[in-house]
Amino acid sequence: MNKLMVFGVVFVLALLGLTWVVAGGQVGDDIVNKLAMLGAVATATIAIFVALKYIRQMQTDKAGGKLAEENWDGIGEYKNELPFGWAIIFFGLVIWAIWYFLAGYPVNAYSQIGEYNEAVAEHDAKFEAQYANMDEETLKEMGGSIFIVQCAPCHGLQADGIDGKAANLNARLEEKTIKHVIQNGSNNQLLGMEMPMPDRNGLMNANTGALITDAEIDAVTKFVAGGMKGTEGADVFAGTCAACHGADGKGMDMVAPSIADFNPTLIANVLKHGKKGAIGAMPAFNNLTEAQVKALGAYVTSLSK
């Protein structure tokens, strides 16, 4: 055995010894620890002796064979056969990887993340069962607590939208929101499904038989924002909006949402799908349980009453 081989053996033993020390000198019955140690042994042994093999070849071998046609700045490579040992190691590692993922340590085996998700799901199930039949006051109380954590950072503790940074939830719709929707249309799935509202080029005033005008947009905007009280804009609403949103503005099933007031279904759809409009975009809140969504719906609905 030459000096180079002796050096390789000593280096591998030293590397494995260091690995054993770092591992605390224990493997135990844990399959992960056993596989990790086996991998360390295989990696160290293969890497060192393959490296030594090619170091020896570089010391003694001379290039030979037929050059490939391709070259890079005059530097070419020979058409040599793939080293047999390298090929065996490569295919061996492929087989080991398949075994590792399918049998040695399956992808669906234990993990801390999986354990956490199972614990969260179990807690959510207990939570849903415990609060499945809350009365209205309990719903509002819970909804207020959830609102402070999930909604107040954008909408404010008073749900006033923090000077326009988010929607003011104390009123169903503000003028800038209404005007933006009329001019640009809307497709926020407020009914829980794709049911877009056309922009102004698709809004016909039945009273005049023509597309809605700027003056009519201003009038109906003030009418809706004012709680649909008074007479200014009422005729425009009746001729343009009532066909979908209803004469009282409370919406029609499968047609259009309520623009007169909030309701739990409307809140649930916004939380599920998110919303975008004149102010910007609100993300979906799919991390909430059904009970939490129901509670938020009750709380937000109560704000504008």
Same domain, yes or no: 93 and 149: no
Return the number of other C-beta atoms located less than 10 Å from residue 195's C-beta: 16
Report the pLDDT value the prediction gives residue 179, as an integer from 0 to 100. 95
**DSSP output for 157-200:** TTSS-TTTTS--TTSS--HHHHHHHHHH-B---TTSS--PBP-G
Query: Helices 112-130 and 290-303: crossing angle, nearest 10°?
Result: 50
On whether residue 68 sits in a domain, the answer given is: no
Report the pLDDT value the prediction gives residue 273, as an integer from 0 to 100. 93
Same domain, yes or no: 129 and 97: no
On whether residue 297 sits in a domain, the answer given is: yes
Same domain, yes or no: 104 and 136: no
Range of the domain at 12: 3-62+80-109
Cβ–Cβ under 8 Å, residues 146 and 288: yes
Report the pLDDT value the prediction gives residue 28, as an integer from 0 to 100. 65
> pTM, whole model, 2 decimals?
0.61
* Predicted confidence pLDDT, tens digits, the chain (305 residues): 577 677 777 877 887 777 777 766 666 666 777 777 777 788 877 877 777 777 777 777 776 678 888 888 888 888 877 778 888 989 999 998 888 888 777 666 777 888 898 899 899 899 888 888 889 999 999 999 999 999 999 999 999 999 889 999 999 999 999 999 999 999 888 998 878 899 999 999 999 999 999 999 999 999 999 999 888 999 999 999 999 999 999 999 889 999 999 999 999 999 999 999 898 899 999 889 899 999 999 999 999 76
Report the pLDDT value the prediction gives residue 104, as an integer from 0 to 100. 73
Partners of residue 276 on adjacent β-strands: 281
b/e 251-280 (16+ beta carbons within 10 angstroms → b):
beeeebbbbbbbbbbbbbbbbebebebbbe
Report the pLDDT value the prediction gives residue 107, as an integer from 0 to 100. 66
Report the pLDDT value the prediction gives residue 145, as an integer from 0 to 100. 95
Same domain, yes or no: 35 and 157: no
Same domain, yes or no: 192 and 43: no
On whether residue 73 sits in a domain, the answer given is: no
Same domain, yes or no: 10 and 91: yes
**Structural domains counted in the chain:** 2
Same domain, yes or no: 47 and 134: no
